[in-house]
Amino acid sequence: MSSLSDGIQNALLNIFIVYSCFTFYFKFIEGKTTPLTSKIMVTLVSAVSIIFCMSFPIINSAGHTPDFRQIPLIVGALYGGRRVAIVLTVVMLTYRFYLDIPHFHMALLIYSLLLISIIFIIPFFQNAVNMRRKVQLAAIAALFGSGSRMALMFFFDSEKTDVEYLIVFVTILLTQLLGVVSFVIVNERTRQSALLSREVLKLEKLRTVSELAASISHEVRNPLTVTKGFVQLLREPGLSDAEKKMYAETALEALDKAEATITEYLTFAKPSLEDVKILDLHQEIIHMRNFVDSYAAMNSVEIEMNLTADIYIAGEDKKLHQCLINVMKNGIEAMPGGGKLRIDLCHIASNAIITVTDTGIGMNKEQLDRLGNPFFTTKDIGTGLGTMVVYSIVKAMGGRIKVDSEVGKGTRFTIFFPAVEQAVQSPMEASNKLFSPLVQHQE
């Protein structure tokens, strides 16, 4: 009973070691290194598995000691190539000689024949274009290995042909065949999944580029078309000075709109800070509120503020203004029937926290998950650039954003900035204060 238990334990240990070694290779090494390094690693992984399997054989009550050495030998040879096959065969025979297992000259002959058969199969395996063909070739290689073990048993060691040994031996052979085929199937599926993921990523990048091109084309072409039309009108004879002035102003307004759109794209693509200084958030928010007061009144929106004084951050004022205006404007536009926009500012731990809450239409979970992604907007008219720019600016200033929303009840934008002391004055010190919390957050 103890012998059976030890045999089962060693069998499970063999399977675990071989599986762990090859999983590590296929998942973390293959395809991520140079071809030479990859071959060296598959040789090491296979050699370690072979030695481990031979060191912990499956012992039964009759004293027979079969093992799974041929699984890493065949799998390593098929994926590593002919040189790897030769090295692994030498490793196996050398370690067998070191263990002083009887009939070494017989094993040398049998495994030499096995090596020749594997060397013949390897180029067909590596050139196979589908998984089914590779599985077939791997099964053939495993059967050659099984045949070599049978030849060693029946032709040179006939005294070990009792029924118990045959049962154990056939079980090991079937396990070996299943093991080799399973490793090939799992590895090929992993390869196909990785290839599919790369193709999907490429297609996603192409889709993003096409959407970006379409969005830029749409947003810039419209004002340019307006400008072109009014410039052509300016060429008409008999226009009064008032008409010329109106046409020129309309054309310039259209150009300003196109410039603003391009600026938003550039802000998203390169949200770097150029003029870092210490900013008083209390004063900056009041200043921005003055800009949106009239827009809020037009939309029947009341603005309430609860601001804590003496809270400072390091950043660029123009970028902060753009960020705050976009968030406030989005909150106002989320309340088409009017409502209340509440702005709070507080200091918790090392963070300056700005909260903008509206009582508008809100967003569902799917919309929240996509918020800040390129080209996503909840508005009937818009490109989604405004919120995307907000996320980029906040990230560039070392902050982060949390959004909570419920359909029909409203949305709350919470912006966290790393707070600094007012005493920090130099641009270099301000920059260090800005990016130090960001590095810690990323770690």
Q: What is the pLDDT of residue 438?
A: 42
Final residue in a domain of this structure, among 145, 168, 201 = 201
Q: Give the bridge partners for 401, in sequence order.
A: 415
Backbone angles phi, psi at 408, to 5 degrees: 85, -10
Residue 210 to residue 198: CA distance in whole angstroms:
18
- Tell me the C-alpha distance between 286 and 308, whole Å: 12
The verdict on 184 and 332 lying in the same domain is: no
CA distance 9 to 16: 10
User: What's the rounded mean pLDDT across residues 71-87?
Assistant: 90
Could you tell me the CA-to-CA distances from 45 to 21, 48, 62, 86, 437 in Å, in that order? 6, 5, 32, 15, 42
The CATH number of residue 112's host domain is 1.10.1760.20
Report if residue 33 sits inside a domain: yes
- β partners of residue 348: 351
Residue 216 to residue 385: CA distance in whole angstroms: 11
pLDDT tens digit sequence for 1-34:
455 566 677 777 777 888 888 777 777 777 677 8
Q: Which comes out higher in pLDDT, residue 94 or 408?
A: 94
Do 175 and 281 share a domain, yes or no? no
pLDDT tens, 120-138? 999 998 888 788 888 888 8
Decide if 79 is inside a domain. Answer: yes
282 against 230, higher pLDDT: 282
Q: Please report which confidence band the pLDDT of residue 202 belongs to, taking 50, 70 and 90 as the band edges.
A: confident
Within this chain, do residues 192 and 310 fall inside the same structural domain, yes or no? no
DSSP helix, strand, coil percent of the chain (3-state; round to 5): 65, 10, 20
Residues 6 or more apart in contact with residue 262 via CB below 8 angstroms: 216, 220
User: Could you tell me if 175 and 306 lie in one domain?
Assistant: no
* Residue 152 to residue 148: CA distance in whole angstroms: 6
30 found inside a domain: yes
Burial class (CB in 10 A: 0-12, 13-18, 19+), 275: exposed
The answer to whether 341 and 296 have CB atoms below 8 angstroms apart is yes
Task: Please write the tens of the pLDDT for every residue from 389-417.
Answer: 788 888 888 899 999 988 888 999 999 99
| Residue 282: burial class (beta carbons within 10 Å; 0-12, 13-18, 19+) | middle
Residue 5, number of CB atoms within 10 A of its CB: 9
Same domain flag for 197 and 281: no
DSSP symbols for 93-115 = HHHHHHTT-S-HHHHHHHHHHHH
DSSP H/E element including 400: strand 400-406
In a domain, 211, yes or no: no
Are 137 and 9 within one domain? yes
Range of the domain at 66: 2-201
Question: Does one domain contain both 294 and 186?
Answer: no
Is residue 176 domain-resident? yes
Q: Are 188 and 282 in a shared domain? A: no
315 strand-pairing partners: 277
Of the segments 83-87, 171-175, 242-246, 276-280, which one has the largest average pLDDT value?
A: 83-87
In a domain, 265, yes or no: no
How far is the C-alpha of 272 from the C-alpha of 174, rounded, in Å? 62
Label residue 442 exposed, middle or buried (CB < 10 Å: 0-12, 13-18, 19+): exposed
End-of-domain residue from the set 157, 179, 201 = 201
Q: DSSP letters of 192-208?
A: HHHHHHHHHHHHHHHHH
Q: How far apart are CA 408 and CA 117, in angstroms?
A: 72
What CATH number does residue 427 fall under? Answer: 3.30.565.10
In a domain, 264, yes or no: no
Instruction: Report the range out of 50-54, 291-295, 369-373 with the highest average pLDDT.
Output: 50-54
Q: Which residues contact 93 (CB under 8 A, 6 or more apart)?
A: 104, 107, 108, 111
Q: Per-residue DSSP letters for 229-255? A: HHHHHHTSTT--HHHHHHHHHHHHHHH
- Which pLDDT score, from 0 to 100, does residue 65 have? 61
Same domain? 43 vs 143:
yes
At residue 160, does pLDDT exceed 80?
Answer: no
User: Beta strand pairing status for 339-348 and 301-307?
Assistant: parallel
The predicted-structure confidence for 313-355, as pLDDT tens digits, reads as follows 988 888 888 888 889 988 898 898 889 999 999 998 889 999 9
Per the prediction, the chain carries an average pLDDT of 79
In a shared domain, residues 63 and 193: yes
Number of structural domains the chain divides into = 2
Q: How far apart are CA 120 and CA 113, in angstroms?
A: 11
| CA 429/CA 413 separation, integer angstroms | 29
Q: pLDDT band for position 374 (50/70/90)?
A: low
pLDDT for position 440: 40
Same domain, 67 and 170: yes
**Averaged over 364-368, what is the pLDDT?**
82
In a domain, 241, yes or no: no
- Residues 389 and 393: their CA atoms lie apart, in Å, by 6
Q: How far apart are CA 357 and CA 306, in angstroms?
A: 12
Which H or E element spans position 304?
Answer: strand 301-307
Predicted TM-score (pTM) of this structure: 0.50
Is pLDDT of 362 > 90?
Answer: no
Looking at the structure, do residues 10 and 156 belong to the same domain, yes or no? yes
Q: Which of 175, 201, 227 is the last residue of a domain?
A: 201
Most confident of 148-162, 275-289, 421-435: 275-289
pLDDT at 356 over 90: yes
Structure tokens at 166: 């045959």
